Amino acid sequence: MRSLFWRIFASFWLAIALVAGLSLLFGHALNQDAWIIARHPALKELPETWVQVYREHGPEAAQKLLEQRKRRYRVDTQVLDSSGEPLVRGTLPPRAAAFEARHRAPLPWRRLTQEYSGPDGESYLFIYRIPHPELDAWHRSSLAWPLAALGIALVVLTVFSLLLTLSITRPLDRLRRAVHDLGRTAYQQNSLERLGRRRDELGVLASDFNRMGQRLQGLIASQRQLLRDVSHELRSPLARLRIALALAERASPEEREKLWPRLGQECDRLEALIAEILALARLDAEPGARQPVVPRAQLEQLREDARLVAPRQEIRISGGEGLELQGWPDMLNRALDNLLRNALRFNPEDRPVEIDIRRDAGRIRIRIRDHGPGVPAEHLGQLGEPFFRAPQQSSPGHGLGLAIARRAIERHGGKLRLDNHPEGGFIAEVELPV
């Protein structure tokens, strides 16, 4: 992470420094003469002033203006007309041209020329000669403020780059530590809470990662709990089988004939328990592509199947015509079958099991109500946990039916609510997204 920090920081800083430096260098290299003429105090606006003095006050006043500029700035000036003839004597030494002709380079001064068109349409050529020491001194004084401003700008941009780089690398470092903790199953759910409040892509990533970490920890915890519960539940039938086998070894042939059905019954119970455990475990696997599901058609088929098991029970189905959702038919069918069997198990024969299907705000709600004794309020929160059975429940079962139903409905993005009905009995409400 430290390498990424310096890469980002150096990239920002070098890009800014190179742009500023190259802009300054190219400006000096391409426009040096024009830059000096436009900014030097001795040359700035000199043609306009000189032409005005020359036209209004004559050659003598114009000559005095050039001499004043020379005394003040040590800059020599000569003005020529369009034919190349000098309009005034100027301040260039008489032998300057001859000296320049004999000594091509280097000369002790800088020679610049500027063309100017007056308001009357006349053209003037201004020739300047600036000694190099005077020019260097002016360069140093004129560049002091730009260089200072450039230095301040670089400092400010450096601080800005540092803050920007830290705003990127620090969240990434937090995410790296969170991934490390998640790999060691030591992830704290609130470790990225502060980062998740950021209103940018890193905040969204932290929020998604936090939800993923909570989901993974929940799955790991549930799998561990399931493994403990499975180990506990398998002990009972295995112990009964072991006892029955021990009794069969010591029993007489007549007594063994009586023990064989008991052994078969225990094997059937063990096989049913393992089948339910496998069904619960398969709900976490990838179920494949979703398919159209018609809840009413599934419940009507389950009603026909229930008549074979409980022929005296009445099941009433209302609503749900034309309702369809996208899901996994086998998974949802098993969940509804477990809920319906649970209702039939406790419902009295003289009262019907009521099933109501309706659409509400883009979701399908399925309510399955029985008229049984219900569940004590203190145990409602535990319903749906694997291997939990209410204390008063005496019917056979392993406590996995509601757990399988809840897990299947949650895989569909829905919710399962289990509660006592206000008028008596128990109600299971399934809420599924369309």
88-124: pLDDT as tens digits: 888 887 766 555 555 566 767 788 888 888 887 889 9
Span 266-290, average pLDDT: 73
Average pLDDT, the chain: 78
Confidence class for position 233, pLDDT limits 50, 70, 90: low
Residue bearing tokens 């295995």: 238
Residue 174 burial (C-beta neighbours within 10 Å; 0-12, 13-18, 19+)? middle
- Per-residue confidence (pLDDT) for residue 366, from 0 to 100: 93
- Per-residue confidence (pLDDT) for residue 179, from 0 to 100: 77
d(CA 35, CA 39): 6
The CATH 1.10.287.130 portion of the chain extends over 201-282
The more confident residue out of 136 and 226 is 136
- Per-residue confidence (pLDDT) for residue 358, from 0 to 100: 92
Let me know if domain 201-282 sits in CATH 1.10.287.130.
yes
The tokens describing 263, both together, are 């052994």
- Per-residue confidence (pLDDT) for residue 30, from 0 to 100: 46
**Best CA proximity match to 346, nearest among 429, 430, 424, 426:** 426
Q: What is the pTM assigned to this prediction?
A: 0.48
Span 387-403, average pLDDT: 62
pLDDT tens-digit profile of 155-210? Answer: 777 777 777 777 777 887 877 777 777 766 666 666 676 776 777 777 777 777 77
* Cβ atoms 318, 328 nearer than 8 A: no
Span 24-31, average pLDDT: 57
- Per-residue confidence (pLDDT) for residue 97, from 0 to 100: 57
- Per-residue confidence (pLDDT) for residue 104, from 0 to 100: 60
d(CA 76, CA 61): 16
Candidate from 218-232, 284-298, 324-338 with smallest mean pLDDT: 218-232
- Per-residue confidence (pLDDT) for residue 43, from 0 to 100: 85
The more confident residue out of 142 and 274 is 274
Within its chain, how far is the Cα of 93 from the centroid?
A: 75
Most confident range (mean pLDDT) of 197-211, 353-367, 372-386 is 353-367
Span 70-97, average pLDDT: 83
* Cβ atoms 173, 1 nearer than 8 A: yes
- Per-residue confidence (pLDDT) for residue 1, from 0 to 100: 47
Span 225-241, average pLDDT: 69
Q: Is the pLDDT of residue 357 over 90?
A: yes
The CATH 3.30.565.10 portion of the chain extends over 291-433
* Cβ atoms 417, 429 nearer than 8 A: yes
- Which amino acid belongs to residue 128? Y
CATH superfamily of 291-433: Histidine kinase-like ATPase, C-terminal domain (3.30.565.10)
Q: How many CB atoms lie within 10 A of CB 107?
A: 14
181 sits in which H/E element: helix 132-183
| Helix 329-346 vs helix 401-411: crossing angle, to nearest 10 | 140
